[in-house]
Structure formats: C-alpha cells, structure tokens
C-alpha cells in the first residue's frame, strides 16, 4: 500500500525588514556605545558592517581624520555622524527634522559630551542651501529609500565640499559611473550589504 503524498511545506512570505532596536558605534573614543533606534516609520540606520567598511575606506583615503569636518544631512539615529566624531573629527553637523529623532540626537550628544557635534533642526535641502560653501570634508547622504531625495541632495551638497572632499551615499540601487558623472562626481569606492548599496564619491577633476 503506497503512502499518501504530503504537500510540500511552504514558509510564510517574509515581511518587510525590521529596523534593529539599536546600533553601536564601531570605533574611536565611544567604541561600543549603543545608539537606540526610535520606532519612527522609514527610519533605517546604516548597519554596523556598512559603517565599518565605510570608515575603513576613510582611514585609507583620509588618514587625517582628526582634521575632517563632516555633515550628515539625513542624520536619523546619528550613527554616521557620531561614528565620525568618535574617531576624532574636528567638527560634525547633524541635520534632522523629525522631532523625536532630534530629541534622541541631542540626548546622545549630551550623554557623550560631544562638543564637536552640532545638531541642527530643519529640512535637509533647506539647511544645505544656507551653509557656507567649501565648509565640509565629507558629506553623508542617507535619505529615505524611494523618496527621490538622493540626487537633489547631491546637487545641494556639491558646493559644500572643500577641495579633496568626499561624498558618501547610501541607496537601494547601485550608482552607475555615468550617472555619477552626470552630477559632476566620480566613484572612489562602492559596495553592497543586503539591499543597501553604499558609495564613496568625489568631485570630478578634484
């Protein structure tokens, strides 16, 4: 007598990835410091391994990290900016408009006594428009995926880069060299971790 054939087991469809409840600072004076992740829709902090790779790139390309002035236009949790400050950057500016995230950034700034960090409330593009030209050595751009903000933010950020400055971008799709060139940039480093594509770029003919 033949055994009944059982239907194959199926797994439930995976839902959208959930943001972690906290990330941590990877290196520097505040190494291993946890950064809580608020339950704000669309908040997607840069993963630890992405930041580790990024700061390895920076250590190679800009070993003078203690002289760097950094700007994070979509600060969110502040993971990118506080990571830079932890490693001794001269100045770090974090821009955020969401009230709860602003509160968390200021609480972390106070807890770490981060005197090199400045938190600015406001829309990223509007704040960028009023910042002085050539005032930053690296600009971090990690806007919400699918919001169409990356290239407007790139255009707003280009004039803010000092000579030899770098622009970091996180996206959900790779940035092609010809697309970067159309915005006056050339890729220096690129990689991918899951659905996160991340790139380090500089002005062409810099």
What distance in Å separates the CA atoms of residue 121 and residue 96, rounded to the nearest whole number? 5
What distance in Å separates the CA atoms of residue 53 and residue 71, rounded to the nearest whole number? 19
Q: Is the pLDDT of residue 7 over 80?
A: no
| Contact indicator for 116, 142 with CB cutoff of 8 Å | no
Find where tokens 């255009």 sit.
Answer: 155
Domains delineated in the chain: 44-203 (3.40.50.150)
| Prediction pTM value | 0.86
- Per-residue buried b or exposed e for 65-80, using 16+ beta carbons within 10 Å of the residue's own CB: beebbbbbbbbbbbbb
**Residue pLDDT, tens place only, 33-56:** 999 888 877 777 888 889 999 999
**Residue pLDDT, tens place only, 151-197:** 999 999 999 999 999 999 998 888 888 889 999 999 999 999 988 89
What distance in Å separates the CA atoms of residue 37 and residue 199, rounded to the nearest whole number? 23
Instruction: List beta partners, residue 34.
Output: 24
What H or E segment, with its residue span, contains residue 196? strand 196-203
Q: Is the pLDDT of residue 8 over 60?
A: no
Query: For 173, phi and psi rounded to 5 degrees?
Result: -140, 150
**Residue pLDDT, tens place only, 51-88:** 999 999 999 999 999 999 999 999 999 999 999 999 99
pLDDT, residue 45, reads: 82
Q: Is the pLDDT of residue 10 over 50?
A: no
| Contact indicator for 167, 187 with CB cutoff of 8 Å | no
What distance in Å separates the CA atoms of residue 184 and residue 179, rounded to the nearest whole number? 9
């Amino acid at each position: 007598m033949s055994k009944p054939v059982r239907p194959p087991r199926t797994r439930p469809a995976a839902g959208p990835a959930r943001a972690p409840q906290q990330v941590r600072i990877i290196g520097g004076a505040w190494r291993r410091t946890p950064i809580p992740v608020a339950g704000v829709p669309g908040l997607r902090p840069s993963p630890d391994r992405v930041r580790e790779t990024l700061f390895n790139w920076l250590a190679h390309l800009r070993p003078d990290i203690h002289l760097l002035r950094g700007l994070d236009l979509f600060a969110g949790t502040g993971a990118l900016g506080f990571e830079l400050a932890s490693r001794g950057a001269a100045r770090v500016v974090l821009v955020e408009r969401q009230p709860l995230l602003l509160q968390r950034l200021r609480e972390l700034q106070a807890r770490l006594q981060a005197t090199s960090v400045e938190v600015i409330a406001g829309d990223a593009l509007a704040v960028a428009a009023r910042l002085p030209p050539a005032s930053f050595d690296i600009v971090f751009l990690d806007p919400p995926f699918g919001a169409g903000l990356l290239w407007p933010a790139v255009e707003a950020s280009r004039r803010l880069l000092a000579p030899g400055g770098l622009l970091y971008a996180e996206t959900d799709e790779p940035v092609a060299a010809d697309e970067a060139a159309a915005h006056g940039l050339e890729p220096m480093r690129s990689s991918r971790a899951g659905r996160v594509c991340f790139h380090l770029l500089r002005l062409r003919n810099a």
